[in-house]
Amino acid sequence: MVAITKKEFKKLADYIKTNYGIHLKEEKQALVEGRFHNVLIQNNFNSFSEYYDYIISDKTGNSIVTLINKITTNHTFFMREAEHFYYFRDKILPHLNKIEKHKDLRIWSAGCSTGEEPYTLAMIIDEFFGKEKMCWDTKVLATDISSKVLDTAIKGIYCNEDIALLPSTWRLSYFKKYDDENSVLVDKIKNEIIYRKFNLMDKVFPFKRKFHVIFCRNVMIYFDTKTKAELVHKFYGITEPGGYLFIGHSESLNREETRYKYIMPAVYMKE
């Protein structure tokens, strides 16, 4: 295995933090060394310094795709942190149904990983509106920095074991058999998601209209305090008054610094 020196690790970690916000602590050095071992071998690099120089000089963007796919962890599942989805279904959707005159829901799944979160939102929305849904624009924007997970999400194919605990009505209405071990989401749900590759570290968010709901769960655990505060500030700016921000249960916002109002664990509202 090609070893990574402390100097090389810091150089690579600084590049990743500056460009993608992910803060790799010193204890992650061995993890980085292991995850990139095959990349170095396949490209005949003799050191991580050679690999770093390759990343900086590569104009195709392929090296960045590989880098992001290797450093990001994309563990998710349907109905993860279910309380959030129940609150979205029981409180937020009824409220928006009453006040949104243009029948235009703007929902963003930021850090959508392999698609379970936005697809769950789409199924909840479809069930909530029923026949009235045809009168609404309910498409969910789903973004991630990793092209690998986005490719998986777009396909909408999931192991039968992964959907076994979903409501039986959902499994019957929203999934169909793909093969003996997997099911695929029906087009009615797949077409409700707009997938885009997006870097949350971009200085300016290119959205013309503000969002009613932003889900950014278990993403900011990889950011340091300053990066996290800057991102939350940007989220606040593109949240509709009365809109919501959902973060992961292992995350929290500094209530003395954020302008969001605390609603319940990991749920905040812009007043």
Which pLDDT tens digit goes with each residue over 240-252?
Answer: 999 999 999 889 8
208 and 115 part of one domain: yes
- Domain extent for 124: 82-269
42 and 98 part of one domain: no
Residue 256 included in any domain: yes
138 and 263 part of one domain: yes
User: Backbone phi, then psi, for 114, in 5-degree steps?
Assistant: -85, 15
Residue 181 included in any domain: yes
Residue 77 included in any domain: no
Tokens found for residue 212: 């009613």
Report yes or no on whether pTM surpasses 0.85.
Answer: no
Predicted pLDDT of residue 76: 67
Residue 96 included in any domain: yes
Number of domains in the chain: 2
Q: 243: buried, middle or exposed (CB in 10 Å: 19+, 13-18, 0-12)?
A: buried
Tokens found for residue 68: 């992001």
105 and 189 part of one domain: yes
262 and 134 part of one domain: yes
Predicted pLDDT of residue 125: 98
Give the relative orientation of helices 62-71 and 6-20 as an angle to the nearest 10 degrees. 100
Task: Please identify which residue in the block is written with the tokens 């009168």.
Answer: 135
Domain stops at, among 71, 102, 125: 71
Which residue positions in the chain have pLDDT lower than 50? none
99 and 229 part of one domain: yes
Residue 156 in contact with residue 182, Cβ under 8 Å?
A: no
Look up the CATH number of the domain holding residue 184.
3.40.50.150
C-alpha to C-alpha distance for 148 and 123, rounded to whole angstroms: 23
106 and 189 part of one domain: yes
Alpha carbon separation from 127 to 134, 155, 169, 187, 268 (Å, rounded):
12, 22, 10, 15, 24
Domain stops at, among 44, 71, 98: 71
Which pLDDT tens digit goes with each residue over 30-81?
Answer: 878 888 888 888 888 999 999 989 888 988 878 887 887 787 766 566 877 8
Residue 76 included in any domain: no
108 and 60 part of one domain: no
Domain stops at, among 51, 71, 91: 71
Predicted pLDDT of residue 77: 61
63 and 115 part of one domain: no
206 and 227 part of one domain: yes
209 and 239 part of one domain: yes
Look up the CATH number of the domain holding residue 26.
1.10.155
61 and 116 part of one domain: no
Residue 124 included in any domain: yes
Task: Please identify which residue in the block is written with the tokens 């889900």.
Answer: 215
Residue 1 included in any domain: no
